[in-house]
């Protein structure tokens, strides 16, 4: 009985972990060498935004670079004002800084042509030793076609991020990529289904555990009778 109980608990845990894994999504990584800058194009139902995250960079320069990059990608008429960073002094802190620029992406979709040289030029004021560009989707699908090292062409579904291109200072590598941003879709029910599945698995495991324990108690409390003598 104890072995059966342990196996049942293992099944429940494994099922819960599988359901959790189905609801997980990747996220952009900030990698060295430093100073390092990661740009993230986020397309969602409300339009989108360009996030710029930097390590060992100036907060003022980060906002300037984010505005310039957003303008080159989406057009100056389709961007808003960059969100102020935490330290607007122009100093170079050791902490991680980020800034965000809202952008207009039509609900019907859009296509972006990206050139690694242009990205490096937009970020030149930050003097990064490494840069990377990511695309993240929420209620949209993004088709990524890239020739960048360290990146692969793929479809980015809702809730997932995918690297578009990376570069190291003075590596002499030029790359291009195309992002085909799809139309807005209905909100995914996957997180709700995953949560419901986990809850049902836990309840089923508890019910089965109680049933097994009761069966054990009945078996332990049942009187034994001697075998009949013939």
Residue 209, pLDDT score: 76
DSSP bridge partners of 27: none
Pairing of strands 142-146, 96-103: unpaired
Residue 227, pLDDT score: 53
DSSP code of 156? Answer: E
3-class secondary structure, 146: strand
Q: Residue 229 belongs to what H/E stretch?
A: none
Q: Where are the beta strands (DSSP E) in the chain?
A: 36-44, 47-55, 96-103, 110-115, 130-137, 142-146, 154-156, 161-168, 176-181
Residue 88, pLDDT score: 45
Residue 95, pLDDT score: 73
Residue 230, pLDDT score: 53
What is this structure's pTM? 0.68
CA pair distance 209, 12, nearest whole angstrom = 11
**Structural domains in the chain plus CATH codes:** 26-181 (2.60.40)
For the chain, 230 residues long, give each residue's pLDDT as a single digit of tens: 455 444 444 444 444 444 333 333 456 766 678 889 999 999 998 889 999 999 888 889 999 999 999 999 999 999 999 987 654 445 555 678 899 999 999 989 999 999 999 999 999 999 999 999 999 998 899 999 999 987 888 888 888 899 999 999 888 888 999 999 999 886 655 555 656 677 778 888 777 777 787 777 777 665 555 555 55
Q: Which residues contact 188 (CB under 8 A, 6 or more apart)?
A: 139, 158, 159
């Amino acid at each position: 009985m104890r072995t059966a109980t342990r196996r049942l608990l293992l099944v429940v845990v494994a099922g819960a972990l599988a359901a959790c894994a189905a609801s997980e999504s990747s996220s952009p990584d900030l990698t060295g060498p430093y100073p390092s800058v990661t740009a993230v194009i986020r397309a969602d139902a409300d339009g989108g935004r360009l996030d710029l995250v930097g390590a060992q960079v100036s907060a003022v320069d980060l906002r300037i670079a984010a505005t310039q990059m957003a303008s080159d990608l989406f057009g100056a008429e389709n961007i808003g004002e960059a969100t102020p960073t935490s330290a607007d002094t122009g100093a170079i802190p050791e902490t991680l800084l980020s800034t965000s620029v809202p952008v207009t992406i039509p609900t019907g979709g859009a296509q972006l042509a990206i050139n690694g040289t242009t990205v490096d030029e937009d970020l030149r004021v930050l003097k990064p030793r490494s840069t990377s560009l990511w695309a993240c989707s929420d209620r949209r699908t993004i088709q990524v076609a890239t020739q960048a090292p360290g990146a692969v062409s793929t479809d980015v579904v809702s809730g997932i991020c995918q690297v578009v291109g990376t570069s190291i200072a003075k590596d002499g590598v030029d790359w291009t990529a195309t992002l085909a941003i799809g139309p807005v879709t209905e909100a995914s029910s996957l997180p709700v289904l995953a949560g419901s599945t986990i809850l049902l698995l836990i309840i089923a495991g508890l019910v089965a555990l109680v049933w097994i324990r009761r069966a054990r108690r009945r078996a332990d409390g049942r009187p034994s009778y001697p075998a009949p003598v013939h």
